[in-house]
Amino acid sequence: MTCLFCDIAAGTVPADVVLADDEFVAFLDIRPVFKGHVLLVPRQHVVTLPELPAGLRDGFLERAQRLATAMVEGLGAQGSFVAMNNTVSQSVLHLHCHVVPRTKGDGLRGFFWPRTRYADAAESADYAGRVVASLA
């Protein structure tokens, strides 16, 4: 099975690459939220953030930081939006971090998913406890 982002990382599919090294590639999203929207991917095929090898974590975040800085310094944005989906809403099943230039009043508002509420404090404590247990 072929992976579009693996092919871009390998150079067999053209893309507007903005960063490339031995471990990562970043390129312009072909359907940007705003012009300059970049996708950062590991060259190694990894589907979700929990699958990213420990040896790549720091480098992934470091490059995301550099790209967020580039949104301001290189594009004149006031800031950036940095986000990742894991499985749900991943249009390409290869880990990718969106780095989107932001400017006050650009029209991007909040989160794009519905909100809900906990029934009570006990329910929220149960959810918190399950997350804590999974991190232990």
pLDDT at 34: 86
Separation of CA 132 from chain center: 24
Q: If DSSP codes are grouped into helix, strand and coil, which group holds residue 80?
A: strand
Widest CA span of the chain, in angstroms?
53
Q: Angle CA(109)–CA(33)–CA(46) in degrees, nearest 5? A: 110
Torsion over CA: 86, 91, 67, 41 (sign): positive
Residue 115 scores a pLDDT above 90: no
Residue-wise pLDDT for 40-70, tens only, equals 999 999 999 999 999 999 999 999 999 999 9
pLDDT at 11: 96
Residue 111 scores a pLDDT above 70: no
The confidence band for 129, taking pLDDT boundaries of 50, 70 and 90, is low
The separation between the first and the last C-alpha atoms of the chain, rounded to the nearest angstrom, is 35
Domains of the chain: 4-135 (3.30.428.10)
The confidence band for 19, taking pLDDT boundaries of 50, 70 and 90, is very high
Cα dihedral 32, 37, 43, 44, rounded to 10, equals -70
Residue 22 scores a pLDDT above 70: yes
The confidence band for 110, taking pLDDT boundaries of 50, 70 and 90, is low
